[in-house]
Amino acid sequence: MPAVPDVSRTGLAQTKRLVVKLGTNVIMRADGPPALSRLYGILESVATLGRQGKQVILVSSGAIGMGAQQLGLDHKPELLAEKQACAAVGQGLLMALYQEGFHRLGMVAAQVLLTEYDFTNRQRYLNLRATLEHLLELGVVPIINENDTVSTVELETREGFRTAPVFGDNDKLSALVASGVDADTLLILSDVAGLYTGNPHKDPSARLIPLVRELTPEIEGCADGQSSRGRGGMASKLAAVRVATRAGTRVLIASGAEPGILDQVLAGRGVGTLFEPGPRLKGRKRWIAHASQVSGRIRVNDGAREVLLEGRASLLTAGVVALEGEFERDDVVAIADLQGRDFARGVVTLGRLDADRALQPEAGLRANGRVLVSRDTFVLMGES
């Protein structure tokens, strides 16, 4: 494996707050049952970090897999109802492993099950952040998972406006959590050693990429395939990387099967793929960019797009050519060019009805100068 310059890993040792995402293939053995020795080894490392004054949050997959194993299913659940039934059975079993393991290590674990609404609703998002902060202050290890029994990742349709889910797997969820609590480092553990130049299961010549300074199209092109039991794959992990690094959090993707992986990572060893963080977006802008639910879309002309991309001004009604979706004042909307390609998000100052009125020719010059999206809430989706 290519040597990683020490300078790229020195910051890992100074990590104070760490989010660790454990994939299903880390939690479970290849033949079905829980990988107890591997899991308890990770818990021991978490306990050691806790005694060193570091704070750790775990985002754990595995409920559906454990439920399927308990129910004796010989196939990966595919139907939504089947997945939710497996999650209902498996979540208690999964949490019992964590509770027992941490209890033996003299630590307390807390279960936190989340749905999209816990992120898309701004007040619930802030309440979640406050709860996690208090748990960490108490020395508790939060164990987070999507509430698969009641939550879905299907696309919603609102008055003809389609919007993608805020998160559809625990990779993205872990990045949203890391962003929300201002984590120093996000460690994504799976059954692969990191990002390769190609799919190592298909291409024997694929090489591990030890360091990524920027998520370029070439880097994203290296992602291929989905995990055997989880919902994620390398593409979903890179989507999570984009969210976390924009929040100023460094990300490392590594193999959960590597003995002492947490200790190796925080010691700055050259394991996995390290993604360097970008400048930290302000808290509310982070929520707008990645955790909010988009309620509509505003298409703007080329002149308005140019001004917005340069960050010189707010979006005025004069630059708007079309509105999509039913949105209220203070909702988050996507901002797109004439072809409908989204390039930004922001919070609208007018609801759809008032915005429509302001765009009518008879509204006059005064309406054309009204601010529709303030620059204070404007976020470029390619902004680092």
| 55 residue type, one letter | Q
pTM of the model: 0.86
Read off φ and ψ for residue 255, nearest 5 degrees: -85, 125
Write the burial class of residue 172 (CB in 10 Å: 0-12 exposed, 13-18 middle, 19+ buried): buried
Domains of the chain and any CATH numbers = 6-285 (3.40.1160.10), 293-380 (2.30.130.10)
Handedness of CA 307, 311, 312, 316 (dihedral sign): positive
* Torsion of the alpha carbons at 285, 185, 219 and 203, rounded to the nearest 10: -150
Contacts of 124 (CB under 8 A, 6+ apart): 117, 118
In tens digits, the chain (384 residues) has pLDDT values of 444 444 568 889 899 999 999 999 999 998 888 999 999 999 999 999 999 999 999 999 999 999 999 999 988 888 888 999 999 999 999 999 999 999 999 999 999 999 888 998 899 999 999 999 999 999 999 999 998 777 665 434 444 455 666 777 899 999 999 999 999 999 999 988 999 998 887 888 889 999 999 888 888 888 765 454 445 588 889 999 999 999 999 999 999 999 999 999 999 998 999 999 988 888 889 999 888 889 999 999 999 999 999 877 899 998 999 999 999 999 999 999 999 999 999 999 999 999 998 888 776 655 567 899 999 999 998 654
What gap in Å lies between CA 277 and CA 250, rounded to an integer?
5
What is the 3-state secondary structure of 107-172?
Answer: CCEEEEEECCHHHHCHHHHHHHHHHHHHHHHCCCEEEEEECCCCCCCCCEEECCEEECCCCCCHHH
Q: Which of 115, 141, 162 is nearest to 51 (CA)?
A: 141
**Distances in Å between the alpha carbon of 11 and those of 45, 53, 180?**
19, 16, 20
| Size of the chain in residues | 384
